[in-house]
Structure 1
Amino acid sequence: MADPATYRPAPGSVPDQPGVYRFLDAKGRVIYVGKAKSLRSRLGSYFQDLSALLPRTQAMVQSAAKVEWTTVKTEVESLQLEYTWIKEFDPRFNVKYRDDKSYPWLAVTISDDYPRLQVMRGAKKKGVRYFGPYSHAWAIRETLDILLRVFPARTCSSGVFKRAGQVGRPCLLGYIGKCSAPCVGRVTQEEHHDIVEDFCDFMAGHTAAYMKRIEREMREASSQLEFERAARLRDDLKAMERALEKVAVVLPDGTDADVIALAEDQLEAAVQVFHVRGGRIRGQRGWVADKTDDADTGELVERLIIQLYDSETSDGVPREVLVPVLPQDSDALQDWLTEKRGSNVSLRVPQRGDKRSLIETVERNATQSLALHKTKRASDLTTRSVALQEIQDALELDEAPLRIECYDVSNLQGTDVVASMVVFEDGLPRKSDYRRFIVKIRGTNESANDVGAIHEVLSRRFARFLDERAETGELDNEPDESATPGGPSAIDPDTGRPKKFAYAPGLIVVDGGPPQVAAAQRALDELGIDDIPVAGLAKRLEEVWKAGEEDPVIMPRTSEGLYLLQRIRDEAHRFAITFHRQKRSKSMIESILDGVAGLGETRRKALLRRFGSLKRLRSATIEEVAEVPGIGRRTAEAVVAALLAGAPSAPAINTATGEILDDDSEVSTDPADLSAPSEGIMRAGSRSNGE
């Protein structure tokens, strides 16, 4: 790692002007490209104390050996130059939006003498007008087949077109009326161009005017007793209506807009883009990109917009671009889009109405896309085997950890401390082995709570493990060779089911860094267990910490092993947060309703099942409360009065995660959250040894 001070520019040498800069490594390769309103201010921020930098920024400046810059006149120029350099040098510390799918477009070869309608994939070409993208090529062909009745433009290849002209006979589409047959001179070149222009106008969203014109011509033909022509126009009108029925109206005001949304985690970002023309969704695309730097959502949106519209013509840039977050340089980005389009472009975040609802829909699609991507990646057997092998190699384990247990702690300012244990076997979650812990640890600061809770939970879990193995005789001097972890001795002879804590994991993972890892290792040492490795996965830089090691293990960002560890850590966090919310919601309801006469434990549970959260219970009317079985009108009035008297003034915040834990924390009915049986919840103080 290089010391940034060795290549820091001399004071006063960096201009106080807008520009683009690039960091290079010792071999002269560009590793990062950025832009700034003031180069002096921005570059100065990279050469401050390393501890003040974000983790990925630290890694970048330590990997670099040189920095260069170029000044520009305007921020719009800096946008363009930054993207040009990113395309040219492909820096490894810049986020790269690489579409993992070649989307089909409906293309019109406007520059040809006789323009052709066809399905196209790949990079866009000059002289071609594109509509879409579509999710599937068959969707384009289906729509095109309907519209060819109304707009009989050429769809055949150049070879077929020339051959038909040579023999003087059109193809089948020309005979059935789905091609105007310019190849044999049925229409002139100008007439064919007019057909294509009408088709492009229709596909661009100008449908209402065209359909009104067709309807007017149909009525005129009928009034002039030209019934065959009127019937043909009527059929054309129905064909256009069928084509439009395939595309949902999402914005009633005929808006032309692109709607962009992202869903992201520490390592990846899923992108979804909906293309709305004339108020209808004309195309959709999405992909998942690796995050390689510390860019926030605004920066991700900015880079995405530049990449989306860099190669677009004026027709490809809409009047509005709706985004979830405005980039920091939104004015310059809007000016750049306006320049590309040739007229004003609005870049904004919708706050209410149909456009807000639409962007929420796109965000849900992005979230589902990211979840599906993770599911596909995790479900592949070969990928899981590679992940386990990479974990074994990185942590220097004797064998691949086929069973991994991960622990996480959730608390609210030192109160209601709970912990979770999730289990992955062969890289897949084993939800029947999930466990939840109620911890009675108390401390004066957040770190002490987490560390103390980890120590207590690991002590209880493995004290139980030793007890259950002692019952089978596995801890005797001469254990039975068949009594291996996971073998016959792990089965309860009374029930025939696996014992709760009889399995030994191949690896213990805790959510945290060196303090949490040390606490977990100390718990195992106190119990005399020395054959189970412990590791911690710290957030931010996703460093893997081994017990007793001063430096972390840095696994490659593309590592399947790191991906698996992150997935296990996230699952433990989700399971802990879910249990914390359930416990908090239940305890708040019980504490507020404790003094209501005639309301015992059974009726309180009935209220909790009926309304799910304290917020919903507070908003319920007396009549709605009285509908709960076992609660009459008088008791319902007392419940509502107690809830109004006990309303809080401010939401609570989970100091460990920064999340607002409002009163709408529902009691989950997700089987994944309820997979651990109630007897698996281990309460502190129930055993003399801390169990």
Structure 2
Amino acid sequence: MTTEPGVYLMKDRIGNTIYVGKAKNLKKRLSSYFMPSRQVKADLKTRSLIESIWDFETHTVRNEEEALILESKLIKQYRPRYNVSLRDDKRFWLVKVQLRTELPRFELTRLRKEDGAKYFGPFVHSGALKATLEWLNNEFGLRTCGQKNPGQHEYKHCHADVIANCSAPCVRKVSVEEYRARVMEAVDFLDGKGKRSRFAHLREQMQEAAERMDFEKAASLRDVIQNLEKTLSPARQFSRGRGVPTTVKPTEDLAELGEYLGLARPPVVMECFDISNVSSTHIVASMVRFSEGAPDNQNYRRYRMKTVATQDDFASMAEVVRRRYSRIVLEAQKANREFFEHNQEPLVQALYRLGDEGLAPIRLPDLVIVDGGKGQLSAAHEELMALGLGELPIVGLAKQQEEIFFPGESDSLRIDHSRGALKLMQRIRDEAHRYANNYNELLLRKRMSESLLDDVPGMSEMRKRALLKHFGSVTEVKKASEAELQMVNGIGPKSAEQIVAWFAEH
């Protein structure tokens, strides 16, 4: 086992990830769990964890910052029961600069968007990052005001120029071209260009301040250097399923899975379904798609049941499979009318051929996986048969013993838990489970929020629907004035007054 820094995943006997941790030295950290003194002195939770460990999976990284980023990603992905922290959706800070604007500035954000901006990060040391940005703005004379196009009015209320922290491009104390050159110099610095010479210059300044016995200045420069070192320490951004340094070998795992399942070719594209029904109020399903062994997030889908009113996993699975693959068939037929008029191939083979040639709007998967045993599998397979897709490879993965079931067969297949083929199936199943549960939680939170309107005096179901349709959310209803509320059909002056008064009081 390696002595490098990294992240480790602890798994139970059926392959579920039960704990994710990070370490400066993987070998030392993992061996510490099984020292006799650790097992005797450990608390009840730790002893329970140790007794449940059946296998390990490790991922090596370059430094501690990367270990923290990867640990956070994997905890959010697997949500292990023995992890408490880092399970929320909070992300590490990023630095953003929109170079398309006339006077760009640096901003902090937690979300990377496709907006044409340049992003740096993620950064694990938030305090060091904020101090670094403050130094960067001061060093290069960059603006920190929030206005997109500041002018004379904003300048009158700004003190950054007075204390020489800003070059004041808003009133052209420097030209736009000169200001943008300063921004690009700061961008290059965050990219690591010229870092060595700037650090050397800062250390020289610190030494000179110490020799002059200006220890306050020297301490300040020391803090600047330490913050810059923490912030600019190279760390990659790991995404779920992509770019993670791992022992997983997608090509080999796919080939192995194809052999175990007796498929004609490795399942390069897989789709997995899961049902989540916390109550009969919200019965939802998820479909996640893996391509070449990695999540294809853009092609995830989530469904609310239309024909199932009570908790019925079999009927729910049938509905979601029917909706998914009837759409694939209809869109393929619509886009290739002439092909289907003359084609004599079985439907599955025809769809595969169109997919391989790039002519199918949605490529038919090489393998369908349903989360569940014989009942869920049977319900899903009957729908495929009805659609003419009976030849589409489909299996069920029962979580309790990780058994793999095939349509019409009583015997199950069990793959050794150390095999990459099973781990690949577990990953897509766990991702489908996570995606379905997240959707159910989202709907539950939305319903709880909307239920606030039920307590408003005189609120009917019709008025409630009209308000939500007009404003979009309860939050926007709260902000609305009486005049704005009266613009909604069915809301008169008295009702608007009651709504405003009720929200003001509560």
Larger Rg: 1
**Bigger relative contact order, structure 1 or 2, given CA contacts below 8 A and separation 6+?**
2
Higher helix proportion: 2
